[in-house]
Amino acid sequence: MTLTNITDIQPFISQERALTFINQYQKCNPENTVDQEYSMQKAYQLYMWNIQMSGALLEVLAWYEVVLRNSIMKVISYKFYPYGIFNNRFILSLNDTTAQIFIDAVNSVHPTEKYILKWDEKGRMSAPNIQNASEGRVIAELGFGFWENLLSKKYNKGMWEPHFRRAFPNMTNSSDVEIVYSITQDIRKIRNRVCHHEPIFKLNGNNILANIEKVLNYIDPVLVDTMMKIERISSLEIERINKAL
């Protein structure tokens, strides 16, 4: 977008939102603040760059989420054979909040019957016997936070210490699951910022890409090669430097 047409969008952006980008540009380029019109134009260029980077990040983040949840499912399907995520042992291994999230996901795609969790007087949870539900539809309904939670320390003994290589064949130690958990926490927060159209110009796209690459390498280096062929993040970071945004 050129300096001659960037002002076309100005009437459609709230002053408060625009000010965020104006302040950022002026902070990074104090020598250009004398020319207010030029400074304003560059600020709106930064705004448009922010939109482009958000789209580029979302492409890679979607790839990360799908690959990660499918890798986690390999462990669940093996450990809780034959019913996988519908095995009551799996449901009972979840904390109360996560178990309720799971049941809500089942109910959202299973209109003929509604399942509920029950707790006895000692606070012990009992799980329903889920039948005739589509595993694929339930998996798709579960949010990123659900899969993130399954990487937490609570599941080290039961899932990750004995079975981590089923999800991450190139991982050398089960303790590295903590690295995946930490990166996944950051990725979820970034995705939330992107999806809510928040400013992300303070994030380093190349660092995000490197963290995603680290996790995908645990699974299969081919995934990294595929991601690097489609990603636009690194070129947008170069563009930001070249345009002094």
The pLDDT assigned to 22 comes to 74
Residue that has been written with the tokens 């459609």 in this structure: 12
The pLDDT assigned to 174 comes to 96
Whether the bond into 82 is cis, omega within 30 of 0: yes
Classify the C-alpha dihedral 71-73-79-82 as positive or negative.
negative
Helix, strand, or coil (residue 135): helix
The pLDDT assigned to 144 comes to 96
* Prediction pTM value: 0.89
The pLDDT assigned to 87 comes to 96
| pLDDT tens per residue across all 245 residues of the chain | 454 455 666 677 767 777 778 777 777 777 766 577 777 788 888 888 999 999 999 999 999 999 999 999 999 999 999 999 999 999 999 999 999 999 999 999 987 778 999 998 888 899 999 988 899 999 999 999 999 999 999 999 999 999 999 999 999 999 999 999 999 999 999 999 999 989 999 999 999 999 999 999 999 999 999 999 999 999 999 999 888 88
Residue 147 CB neighbour total at 10 angstroms:
19
Which token pair is 118? 């029950």
Which token pair is 113? 């019957």
E strand spans, 82-175: 118-119, 125-126
E strand spans, the chain: 118-119, 125-126
Which token pair is 134? 């589509």
The pLDDT assigned to 3 comes to 47
The pLDDT assigned to 113 comes to 78
The one-letter amino acid code at 195 reads C
| Residues 69, 16: Cα–Cα separation, whole Å | 38
